[in-house]
A = this chain, B = another copy of it.
Amino acid sequence: MLDEKILNVLRHNKDSYVSGEELCKLAGVSRAAIWKHMEKLREEGYDIEALPHLGYKLVAIPDSLIPSEIKWKLKTKVFGKSVISYRKVDSTNIIAYELAEKGMKEGTVILADEQVKGKGRHGRCWSSPSKGGIYMSCILRPSIAPNEISRITLLAAVAVAQAIRDLSSLEVTIKWPNDIMMGPRKLCGILTQMKAEQDSVDFVVLGIGINVDLPVKQLPKGATSMREELRRRGEKVTLSRVELTKRVLEKLEEYYNLMKTEGFEPIIDIWKDLSVMIGSRVKVTLAGKTFEALAHDINPDGALVVRTESGLLEKISSGDVIMVR
Which one of B145, B178, B194 lies within 8 Å of A196 (CB-CB)? B194
Determine whether the beta carbon of B150 is less than 8 Å from that of A177: no
Given A145-B318, A146-B147, A146-B149: A196 touches B198 (CB 8 Å cut-off): no
Say how far A259's CB is from chain B's closest CB, in angstroms. 15
Interface residues of A in 190-228 (CB under 8 A from B): 191-200, 202
List of B residues within 8 angstroms of A178 by Cβ: 198
A230 to B153, CA, bound (A): 51
- Can you report 30 residue pairs joining A to B where beta carbons are below 8 Å apart? A121-B198, A121-B200, A122-B197, A122-B200, A145-B317, A145-B318, A146-B146, A146-B149, A146-B194, A147-B301, A147-B317, A149-B196, A149-B198, A150-B198, A150-B199, A152-B198, A153-B198, A177-B198, A177-B199, A178-B198, A191-B197, A191-B198, A193-B196, A193-B197, A194-B195, A194-B196, A195-B195, A196-B196, A198-B318, A200-B318
- Kindly state whether residue A300 has any CB partner on chain B within 8 Å: no
Highest count of chain B CB atoms <10 Å: which of A178, A191, A195: A195
- Kindly state whether residue A319 has any CB partner on chain B within 8 Å: yes
Interface residues of A in 52-104 (CB under 8 A from B): none
Q: In the complex, what residue of chain B is closest to A204 when comparing beta carbons?
A: B198
Highest count of chain B CB atoms <10 Å: which of A177, A191, A202, A318: A318
- Interface of A, secondary structure class, is mixed
A residues apposed to B, CB below 8 Å: 121-122, 145-147, 149-150, 152-153, 177-178, 191-200, 202, 301, 317-319
Q: Given A191-B198, A193-B202, A200-B318, 4 more contacts at CB 8 Å?
A: A145-B318, A146-B196, A149-B198, A177-B199
In the A-B complex, list the 8 residue pairs whose CB atoms are closest, starting with the nearest: A199-B318, A147-B147, A192-B198, A146-B146, A153-B198, A145-B318, A149-B198, A145-B317
A149 to B318, CA, bound (A): 14
List of B residues within 8 angstroms of A318 by Cβ: 145, 198-200
